[in-house]
Amino acid sequence: MIRKTLLFIFSFFSMQFTYSQIIDRYGVNAGVSYSTFDWVHKFQLNYDIIEIKPDLDYKIGYMAFLNAEKNIKKFGLRAEMGYIQKGFRISREFNFPDGTTVIHDKEPLTLHNLALNTGIKYTPFKFVLSPYIFIGIRGDYLISYEDVELREPATGVGGGLYGQFIQDFRKFNFGGLLGVGIDIKKLLYLEVEYNPNFTKNINEEWLQIKNNCFGVKLGLNINKLVK
């Protein structure tokens, strides 16, 4: 049901891009994401609950979006649809019974997501360089992932480290979207954004996993080129 709803929304906004006369701006943007996960394991020892939080590093990924915007004086209603990578990096040493060791030095785990953003943009004044802020929501739909591989050197036996958890991830997650940007002659724009998740990828009694993501992207307003 969620997948059908997401596909319907994507189709709807595709129609808006086609009938560009009803919107003021439409274009593309691309950039990099910078994300990690808050990963909390809980264990009971006697009468105490112990929390273990793995030390996961931030991972750089890629993102690209189509966007459309309707301006109302100093405000803008904006929608975006596209693709974003999220994930984390792990640094850890693994020791095997035969005495061999495998060291993972910031090995990446990558999640591939379709994304839909909607929000409100506010531009206090408009010049050649016009700063703005925006607030909104993002919906992510997980389509695939690339796991961190661990194999015993002597036998080659092994596999993915996190697949058993990722298979239980929520496919669809909602989060906030906060950011600042600057318009350059109404043709280009540069944005910095923060995307904290409202929902958790896993929310069980003994395991909770939640994503945080930052982003930087450069956009092009195509309608300025085709006028």
Which band of pLDDT confidence, cut at 50, 70 and 90, is reported for residue 154?
confident
Q: How far apart are CA 145 and CA 139, in angstroms?
A: 17
- Report the candidate in 119, 95, 118, 94 with the shortest Cα–Cα distance to residue 107: 94
Tens digits of per-residue pLDDT, 19-53?
A: 445 788 889 999 999 999 998 887 766 666 667 77
Least confident of 35-44, 70-79, 101-110: 101-110
- Number of other residues whose CB lies within 10 A of the CB of residue 70: 14
Pick the residue with more confidence: 176 or 149? 176
Pick the residue with more confidence: 212 or 104? 212
Identify whether the C-beta of residue 181 lies closer than 8 Å to the C-beta of residue 190: yes
Tens digits of per-residue pLDDT, 170-206?
A: 899 999 999 999 999 889 999 999 999 999 999 888 8
Contacts of 154 (CB under 8 A, 6+ apart): 96, 98, 100
> Which domains are delineated in the chain?
2-226 (2.40.160.20)
- Report the candidate in 165, 14, 177 with the shortest Cα–Cα distance to residue 87: 165
Contacts of 151 (CB under 8 A, 6+ apart): 102, 157, 158, 159
Q: Which amino acid is at 55?
A: D
Mean pLDDT for 133-159 is: 87
